[in-house]
């Protein structure tokens, strides 16, 4: 039967206030609270639900990064994934890592693991790229069902209801396929303590991008990271004439 | 609002081994009384069985005390080649995320636990090089010489970011094989039939705001142990239950507390003096309100300072706002000159113990013991509690180890009762230290307030080292100290300027605190009518001012007439001040879903 690959990304927790590093090369991550990207949680939940409904046999959780990402993989295992794969990327490679490198890794893994589905979150909350799913599908030449808010498997095809600007779009794509999870797809279950304890016994395989034939060289160089400019206080005016006068005074009109 | 809570009655003798769901409606009942038996129908399809697991020792709380106890147990196990399963649960999402302290660490306990701490990379990077003490007036500063022998003298100590130190302790513990589970809150104490402690249960998850189970509802897990250590820190919520259950406080005074607020600032490099420790008393507090400030220059690469303000929770004016006192203190010329041009990067708050020797409860009971700031070993004039907390954890481990690994523990109760821990505490340097400083804090309760206290310290501590034959008493429960609002004058606090001082909500945002929104509020009221009838009517709603996270607000009713108390539980930073200072003692802090709360990074 089929196997699903799920991608999980370790990101800075959404409630934490971000701070730019003094050298402006990035944001401070040392000691900052991290958690699984919320859309990845939804992806994991969907994969586990599909397994519970017996559409698929095995769910493999994959994450790319330094040793800390194994915590994120363990959470995915505690939610119901069967095994994990940790693709080790650290140092400069990790800082420069982006959707292109990740999608190459996932494409290689999807072929290696003979996956019928790759389920990812629609985007990560740290970079908001919304590219990895689409790039992975393109590299594999597989159909893609992105922004999925409902997924139904029917034999060898998948019916995906997608959230689009105008409303909802329903498409039918053949497997193997790439899906990306949107907010309303499901409500992820908690990784409860007994499951975390059981997850310790589940296997996490280690590998490097080179083992998959992927080069991590980035085509993007980050020049500088700045804080957004401080919002200035607004000014209230009494009449329309005042408003026009002020707009003229500061050169807007 | 009362907590809609789902409880399980563990043992129904008449029904064998089944677990029955008990959906509690608005009963006037303490959330601790697990003997409540009101059976109603279980919602269909909800799994109510709790998974249970066994360890030799279970530790609640991953702070200095809990981790030191875990480490010491595993060190002994290694030395004596015995197997020991030690499990530690911590409500924060990662070890150190709920840790907040000044802090000037006295390395005495650390030297005993890990003599090679330097090689192991313990983050003690800033030895104290300068020690300043001042009495502040509104515009000026009176320096006080920091003579050796005075409790505040910091020679030989290190300025640390306690959250990072605790995180490092966690790593050492994991290396030794301690099972650490951050993100799981111990919500319930479990008891054997003979009344001894059996272990703990983690909180149920997936309960909606109204108390009903959501789709993702799952029961918490039970962790059973031969002995359970409770290291929840100051004013722990399970400890409250244990005090009542085992009458642990019958021979000591009620604990008294302070609230400590803290910020981290990156300052102008020209103003940075790594290793400098500054403390002050006086302005902006009046002489009858206990409190003061700290400002420590860290030496970890960046020009970082840790600063904060402590206010004793026995203050009497309900209009006092510890947060706003802290903010306005920063405008004092002596403080402002360090902070000008700097950036605030972190904020947090936590209650701390001030009771010391007079308030130490009995710390052992069948099946468990209390360690760390929970019973309260803080040396108040030194403003240090980490070294004593660690030592108490180590002493607990040393008392437990022979009993827990013995072939036949020869215990009267199913949960082991190990009074040797208390005996060892009394013989240790913790006891000597706390005894010597026992009269300093209570000495502030005199007409001259702060100045009387300083004279007492100078005479009796510095000269006599606490050998005077009498023991002064504290003033009683902190919650009973507030005077009615009509007898007090409102305090005019300056508006925050956004550069040195800030408003409450932007400060709370910096703490990184958050909770799953759709869960019952964890700040529970025993009686819904009391806040408006008592707190607002008599004391003008002091919880609006003493909460450092803006949880409590009195807002007008939608109908227009009268007010109601709004509880913004999501803002809570788990400081416990409301549970301590509420004049009606109506607010009961219970633990929210694990992982919720602040996300401190090295505070």
B8 or B60, higher pLDDT: B60
What integer pLDDT is reported at residue B424 of this predicted model?
A: 95
Higher pLDDT, A232 or A125: A125
Is the pLDDT score of B580 beyond 90? Answer: yes
Q: What is the mean pLDDT of residues A109-135?
A: 96
Split at pLDDT 50, 70, 90, the class of B31 is very low
B-chain residues near A197 (CB < 8 A): 53
Asked whether the beta carbons of residue A193 and residue B221 sit closer than 8 angstroms, the reply is yes
Q: What is the pLDDT of residues B411-422, one digit of tens each?
A: 888 899 999 999
**Residue B42 predicted with pLDDT over 60:** no
Token readout for A22 is 């003094």
Exactly one of B202, B344, B575, B595 is catalytic; which is it?
B575
Is the Cα dihedral A192, A195, A199, A201 positive or negative?
positive
pLDDT band at B18 (very low <50, low <70, confident <90, very high): very low
Contact A117, A58 (CB under 8 A): no
d(CA B291, CA B277) in angstroms, rounded, equals 17
Least confident segment among B30-34, B146-150, B162-166, B518-522: B30-34
Q: What is the DSSP letter of B401?
A: H
Q: What DSSP line would sit under B56-117, residue for residue?
A: SEEEE--SHHHHHHHHHHHHHHHHTT----EEEEESSSSTTTT-----EE-THHHHHH-TTT
Token digits of residue B339: 């902070």
Span of A213-217, A233-237, A242-246, B179-183 with lowest mean pLDDT:
A233-237
Per-residue confidence band for B36, with pLDDT thresholds at 50, 70 and 90: very low
Contacts of B184 in chain A (CB under 8 A): 193, 196
B439 has a pLDDT exceeding 70? yes
Residue of A nearest to B89 (CA): A193
pLDDT at B48 over 90: no
Which 3 state secondary structure label does DSSP give B536? helix
Side by side, which strands form the sheet with B186-191?
B52-54, B222-224, B197-202, B186-191
Task: List, in order, residues 6 or more apart from B223 with CB less than 8 Å away.
Answer: B52, B53, B54, B55, B58, B87, B89, B199, B200, B201, B202
| pLDDT number for residue B467 | 84
**What predicted TM-score, i.e. pTM, was given to this entire model?**
0.90
Closest chain B C-alpha to A215 CA, distance in angstroms = 33
Q: Name the E strands within B160-298.
A: 179-182, 186-191, 197-202, 205-207, 213-218, 222-224, 227-230, 257-266, 276-282, 291-297
Query: Nearest chain B Cα to A193, which residue?
Result: B221
What average pLDDT does range A216-225 have in this prediction? 91
So what's the pLDDT on residue B40?
Answer: 40
Q: Name the band, by pLDDT with cuts 50, 70 and 90, for residue B32.
A: very low
CB contact under 8 A, A192 and B218: yes
SS3 A172: strand
- Rounded CA-CA distance A12/A33 in Å is 6
Supply the pLDDT for residue B43.
56
pLDDT at B300 over 60: yes
Specify whether B577 is catalytic.
no
| E strand map for B428-547 | 523-525
Q: How far apart are CA B237 and CA A29, in angstroms?
A: 32
B87 part of the active site: no
- Residue B122 — pLDDT band, cuts 50, 70, 90? very high
Alpha-carbon distance of A122 to A144, in angstroms, equals 11
Which residues does chain B have within 8 Å of residue A190's beta carbon, measured at their own beta carbons?
205-206, 216, 218
B51 touches chain A (CB under 8 A): yes
The pLDDT assigned to B30 comes to: 37
| Res B496 pLDDT > 80 | yes
What confidence score (pLDDT) does residue A1 get?
Answer: 58
Q: What is the pLDDT of residue A251?
A: 86
Pair of tokens at residue A210 = 């080179």
Q: Is the pLDDT at B156 greater than 60, yes or no? A: yes
Per-residue pLDDT, B37: 31
Q: Is residue A176's pLDDT more than 50?
A: yes
Residues 6+ apart with CB under 8 A from B233: B61, B63, B350, B372, B373, B374
pLDDT of residue B20 exceeding 50? no
- Please answer yes or no on whether B599 and A189 come within 8 Å at the CB atom: no
DSSP letters spanning A60-78: EEEEEESTTHHHHHHHHHH
CA distance B285 to B292: 8
Which of B368, B364, B475 shows the shortest CA–CA distance to B424? B364
| Summary mean pLDDT of chain A | 94
Assess contact for B383 and B243: CB atoms under 8 A: no
**Contact B214/A at CB under 8 A:** yes
Least confident of A2-16, B5-19, B99-113, B559-573: B5-19
Please tell me whether residue B561 adopts helix, strand or coil conformation.
coil
Q: Does position B12 have pLDDT exceeding 50, yes or no? A: no
pLDDT band at A235 (very low <50, low <70, confident <90, very high): confident
HSE of B341, CA atoms in CB hemisphere, 13 A: 9
pLDDT of residue B44: 62
For chain A, the farthest-separated pair of C-alpha atoms sits apart, in whole angstroms, at: 72
CB–CB contact B599 A193 (8 Å)? no
Please provide residue A8's backbone torsions phi and psi, each rounded to the nearest 5 degrees: -130, 130
Assigned token pair, A222: 């980050």
Q: Is the pLDDT of residue B261 over 50?
A: yes
User: What integer pLDDT is reported at residue B539 of this predicted model?
Assistant: 94
- The alpha carbon of residue A65 and the mean position of all alpha carbons in its chain are separated, in whole angstroms, by 13
Tens-place pLDDT, residues A28-51: 998 899 999 999 999 999 999 999
Average pLDDT of chain B to the nearest whole number: 89
pLDDT classification of B8: cutoffs 50, 70, 90? very low
Contact yes or no for A196 and B601 at CB 8 A: no
Reported as a single tens digit per residue, the pLDDT across B311-356 is: 999 999 999 999 999 999 999 999 999 999 999 999 999 999 999 9
| Cross-chain Cβ contact B266/A189 below 8 Å | no
Write down the pLDDT at residue B314: 93
Q: Is the pLDDT of residue B16 over 80?
A: no
A-chain CB neighbours of B167 within 8 Å are: 31
For residue B45, name the pLDDT band (cuts at 50, 70, 90): low
Q: What's the rounded Cα separation, in Å, for the pair B368 and B417?
A: 7
Examine the pLDDT at A168 and tell me if it is beyond 80: yes
pLDDT band at B455 (very low <50, low <70, confident <90, very high): confident
Tell me how far apart the alpha carbons of residues A10 and A127 are, in angstroms, rounded to a whole number. 12
Question: Is B410 a residue whose pLDDT tops 90?
Answer: no
Is the pLDDT at B130 greater than 50? The verdict is yes
B260, B231 Cβ separation under 8 angstroms = no
A151-176 burial code (b ≥16 CB/10 A, e <16): bebeeeebebbbbeeeeeeeeebebb
Q: B359: distance to nearest CA of chain A, Å?
A: 35
A15/B96 CB distance under 8 A: no
Q: State the pLDDT confidence band at B453, using cuts at 50, 70 and 90.
A: confident
Q: Of these residues, B386, B443, B479, B511, which one is catalytic?
A: B386
Is residue B38 predicted with pLDDT exceeding 80? no
CA distance B183 to B172: 19
């Amino acid at each position: 039967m089929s196997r699903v690959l799920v991608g999980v990304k370790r990101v800075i927790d959404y409630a934490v206030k971000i701070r730019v590093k003094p050298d402006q090369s990035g944001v401070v991550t040392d000691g900052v609270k991290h958690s699984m990207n919320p859309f990845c949680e939804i992806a994991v939940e969907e994969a586990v639900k599909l397994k519970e409904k017996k559409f698929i046999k095995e769910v493999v959780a994959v994450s790319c990064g330094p040793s800390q990402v194994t915590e994120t993989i363990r959470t995915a295992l505690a939610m119901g994934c069967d095994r994990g794969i940790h693709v080790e990327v650290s140092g400069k490679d990790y800082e420069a890592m982006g959707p292109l490198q990740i999608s190459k890794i996932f494409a290689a893994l999807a072929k290696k693991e003979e996956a019928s589905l790759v389920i990812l979150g629609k985007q990560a909350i740290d970079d908001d790229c919304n590219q990895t799913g689409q790039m992975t599908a393109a590299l594999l030449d597989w159909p893609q069902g992105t922004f999925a808010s409902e997924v139904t498997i029917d034999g060898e095809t998948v019916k995906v209801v997608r959230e689009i600007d105008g409303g909802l779009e329903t498409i039918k794509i053949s497997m193997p396929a790439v899906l990306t999870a949107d907010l309303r797809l499901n409500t992820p279950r908690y990784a409860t303590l007994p499951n975390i304890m059981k997850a310790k016994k589940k296997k996490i395989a280690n590998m490097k991008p080179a083992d998959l034939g992927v080069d991590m060289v980035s085509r993007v160089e980050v020049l500088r990271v700045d804080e957004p400019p401080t919002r200035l206080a607004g000014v209230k005016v009494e009449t329309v004439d005042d408003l026009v006068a002020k707009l003229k005074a500061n050169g807007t009109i | 609002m009362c907590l809609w809570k789902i409880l399980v009655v563990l043992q129904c003798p008449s029904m064998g081994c089944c677990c029955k769901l008990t959906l509690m409606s608005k009963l006037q009942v303490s959330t601790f009384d697990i003997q409540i038996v009101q059976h109603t129908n279980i919602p269909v399809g909800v799994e109510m069985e709790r998974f249970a697991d066994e360890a030799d020792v279970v530790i609640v709380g991953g702070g200095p005390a809990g981790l030191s106890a875990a480490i010491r147990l595993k060190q002994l196990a290694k030395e004596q080649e015995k197997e020991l399963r030690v499990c530690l649960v911590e409500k924060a999402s990662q070890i150190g995320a709920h840790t907040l302290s000044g802090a000037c660490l006295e390395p005495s306990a650390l030297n005993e636990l890990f003599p090679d701490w330097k090689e192991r990379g313990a983050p003690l990077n800033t030895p104290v090089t300068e020690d300043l003490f001042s009495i502040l007036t509104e515009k000026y500063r009176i320096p006080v010489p920091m003579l050796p022998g005075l409790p505040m003298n910091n020679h030989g100590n290190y300025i640390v970011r306690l959250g990072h130190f605790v995180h490092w302790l966690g790593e050492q513990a994991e290396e030794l094989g301690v099972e650490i589970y951050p993100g799981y809150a111990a919500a319930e104490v479990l008891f054997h039939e003979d009344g001894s402690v059996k272990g703990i249960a983690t909180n149920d998850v997936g309960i909606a705001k109204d108390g009903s189970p959501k789709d993702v509802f799952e029961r918490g897990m039970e962790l059973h142990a031969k002995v359970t250590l409770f290291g929840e820190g100051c004013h722990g919520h399970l400890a409250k239950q244990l005090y009542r259950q085992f009458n642990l406080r019958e021979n000591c005074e009620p604990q008294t507390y302070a609230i400590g607020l803290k910020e981290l600032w990156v300052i102008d490099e020209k103003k940075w003096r790594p290793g400098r420790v500054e403390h002050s008393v006086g302005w902006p507090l009046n002489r009858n309100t206990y409190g003061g400030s700290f400002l420590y220059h860290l030496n970890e690469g960046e020009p970082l300072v840790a600063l904060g303000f402590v206010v004793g929770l026995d203050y009497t004016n309900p209009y006092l706002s510890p947060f706003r006192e802290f903010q306005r203190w920063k405008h004092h010329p002596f403080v402002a000159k360090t902070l000008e041009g700097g950036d605030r990067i972190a904020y947090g708050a936590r209650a701390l113990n001030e009771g010391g020797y007079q308030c130490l409860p009995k710390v052992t009971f069948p099946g468990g013991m209390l360690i760390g700031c929970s019973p309260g070993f803080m040396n108040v004039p030194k403003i240090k509690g980490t070294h004593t907390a660690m030592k108490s954890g180590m002493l607990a481990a040393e008392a437990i180890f022979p009993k827990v690994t013995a072939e036949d523990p020869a215990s009267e109760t199913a949960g082991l009762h190990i009074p040797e821990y208390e005996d060892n505490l009394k013989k240790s340097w913790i006891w000597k230290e706390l005894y010597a400083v026992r009269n300093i804090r209570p000495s502030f309760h005199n007409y001259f307030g702060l100045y009387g206290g300083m004279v007492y310290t100078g005479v009796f501590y510095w000269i006599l080292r606490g050998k005077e034959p009498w023991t002064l008493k504290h003033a009683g429960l902190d919650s009973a100290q507030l005077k009615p609002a009509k007898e007090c004058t409102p305090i005019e606090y300056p508006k925050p300027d956004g550069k040195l001082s800030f408003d409450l909500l932007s400060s709370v945002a910096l703490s990184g605190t958050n909770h799953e929104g759709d869960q019952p509020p964890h700040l529970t009221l025993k009686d819904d009518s009391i806040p408006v009838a008592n707190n607002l009517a008599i004391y003008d709603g002091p919880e609006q001012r003493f909460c450092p996270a803006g949880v409590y607000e009195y807002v007008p009713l939608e109908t227009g007439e009268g007010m109601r108390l709004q509880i913004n539980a999501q803002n809570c930073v788990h400081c416990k001040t409301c549970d301590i200072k509420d004049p009606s003692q109506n607010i009961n802090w219970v633990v929210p879903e694990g992982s919720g709360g602040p996300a401190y990074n090295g505070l």
